[in-house]
Amino acid sequence: MFLKSSSYTSIYRTISVLITTLVVLSACAAPVSKSEFNDPYESQNRKMHEFNKGLDRALVGPTAKGYGFITPPLIIHIVGNVAGFLGLPGQAVNNVLQGDIKGLRQTVSRFAVNSLTFGLGDLATDAGIPDNNADFGQTLHVWKFRQGVYHELPLLGPSTERDTIGFIIDTALNPTNFILPSGTDGMGLTFGILDRLGDRNQYSDVIEDTLYNSEDSYATARSLYLQNRNFKLNGGVTEDSLEDPFADF
Amino acid sequence: MQISKKLNRRVFLAGISAAVAATAMPSAGFALTKAAAEKLINNLSSDIFKIINSGKSETAMYRDFDRVFAKYAAVDAIARTCLGPPWRSANASQKKAYTAAFRAYISRKYGKRFREFIGSKITVTSAKAVKSGVLVKSVVKFKGSAPFTVDWQVFERNGKRQMFDLYIEGISMIKTEREEIGSMLDRSGGKIDKLVARLNKAG
């Protein structure tokens, strides 16, 4: 996905293929799932989960810890800021597609304020301008596309059909992934990957608790992902999702 | 003409008083107000932060968390909800043993999570009435990083205000633990006694 600046046509071809796929996917009925989640491919997903765990144990975890060990905290922090900054143009596109004026204003303000530091600092958060993290999976939700089935992707982990398509489109849509001057193309992705390693290192306690200490790490990861995702899509905890303290079993 | 005008006015006035009564009802009818729920969460979070910043050893902190959990939360209702239908088939002593093991397990597990809040600040931002009580929203801010949301579900039972569930960035403690305890029970062959033994070792 390291796209060259000369490959506009191929990007648009990719996008049109994806949109066609999307329409086809949303038209066909998904198989019925046994669990409370829409997870009809659970057995395949579990195999992918084991693969991802192996990858984390052998490669991603150690790499992240190595990165965390040799890199001064300040640099890791700056990398996180730059990754967030480079994501803002794509985020603005999603704000527009969702018709979210308030979100767009936030994104543009963040970009303007953080430009003062060339994206190295995050003055915007300190100034109380929140990051709305709009993404294309969310845009599809706003456009009333169904969430589709749950699946676990290689390396990237938990997702849903809608979020996977969203991720691919976001990657293709983000201008910082391909239209920067030659030699620096792919910068958005590079910082994105470093940022993920930084997160893997920073949150290693929570991540390792989930992956290696929970009773059924596949089920836990699925539950955590979908709960957090629905929280983002619904803009908070909804009344319908609350448990009943008086439920009698 | 005259009669119908009078009648209309009477109907109108009756309508207004009904509307006033209806809006006044929630605060008069429900004993748990938003302000009271917010106060509970303010006290609870300040107790949690006192423990985090106390500099005590891990085990001493878990003991303190256990006390706070028992003081503010509806431990029995939480434990029962996390076990679900198997609760019904357990006998009284199993229920008691399970609830005690669950309480200690949550104190260890969430105590560990809360320790990551060191250096942050929590602020209650709003509250809204929901069908089973009040949902209190708070924001945890770390210096130089994005804030995150913690929602607290508060309800009232026998005149006592208690915390029922908490959501960290939308992730519910009860939903997550129900999944975990369900898996533990599966691995215990559906036996409550084995589940209790497992719980004592987990977290």
Tens digits of residue pLDDT in B186-203: 999 999 999 999 999 987
Furthest-apart CA pair in chain B: how many Å?
Answer: 83
Which residues of B are less than 8 Å from A206 in CB distance?
A: 113, 116
pLDDT at B22: 45
Distance between start and end Cα atoms, chain B: 77
Residue B113 near chain A (CB below 8 Å): yes
* Residue ranges, chain A, pLDDT below 70: 1-35, 178-185, 249
Residue B56 near chain A (CB below 8 Å): no
Query: For an interface test with A, which of B95, B132, B163 has the most A Cβ atoms less than 10 Å from its Cβ?
Result: B132
Cβ atoms of B170 and A237 closer than 8 Å = yes
| Residues β-bridged to residue B128 | B135
Report the alpha-carbon angle B125-B130-B131, nearest 5: 165
Q: Render pLDDT for A135-164 as a digit per residue (tens, 0 to 9).
A: 999 999 999 999 999 999 999 999 999 999
Mean pLDDT of chain B: 85
pLDDT of B16 higher than 80? no
3-state DSSP assignment of residue B124: strand
CA-closest candidate to residue A206, choices B57, B163, B148: B148
ipTM value for the complex:
0.81
CA-closest candidate to residue A170, choices A128, A132, A212, A140: A140
Q: Where are the domains of chain A?
A: 13-25+42-235
3-state DSSP assignment of residue A181: coil
With CB atoms and an 8 Å threshold, state whether B112 touches A237: no
Distance of CA B40 to CAs A27, B37, B95, B160, B190, Å? 49, 5, 28, 11, 37
Residue B134 near chain A (CB below 8 Å): no
Structural domain span for residue B11: 2-199
Distance of CA A104 to CAs A94, A116, B55, B79, B133, Å? 9, 19, 43, 43, 35
Domain count, chain B: 1
Cβ atoms of A46 and A219 closer than 8 Å = no
Q: Which residues of A133-157 are buried (b: 16+ CB within 10 A; e: fewer)?
A: ebbbbbbbbeeebebbbbbbeeeee
Q: Render pLDDT for B26-35 as a digit per residue (tens, 0 to 9).
A: 443 456 899 9
pLDDT at A176: 75
Q: What is the pTM of this model?
A: 0.82
CATH of the domain at B59: 3.10.450.710
Stated as kind and residue range, the H or E segment containing A160 is strand A157-160
Q: How far B14 CA lies from chain A's nearest CA (Å)?
A: 33
Q: Render pLDDT for B143-189 as a digit per residue (tens, 0 to 9).
A: 767 788 999 999 998 889 999 999 999 999 999 999 999 999 999 99
The CA distance from A71 to A78, in Å, is: 11
**CA A145 from centre of chain:** 18
Distance of CA B141 to CAs A85, B120, B150, Å? 20, 5, 11
3-state DSSP assignment of residue B68: helix
Q: What share of chain B is helix, strand, coil (3-state, %, to 5)?
A: 60, 20, 20
Cβ atoms of A25 and A148 closer than 8 Å = yes
Residue A210 near chain B (CB below 8 Å): no
Q: Which residue has the tokens 């150690």?
A: A62
pLDDT at B146: 78
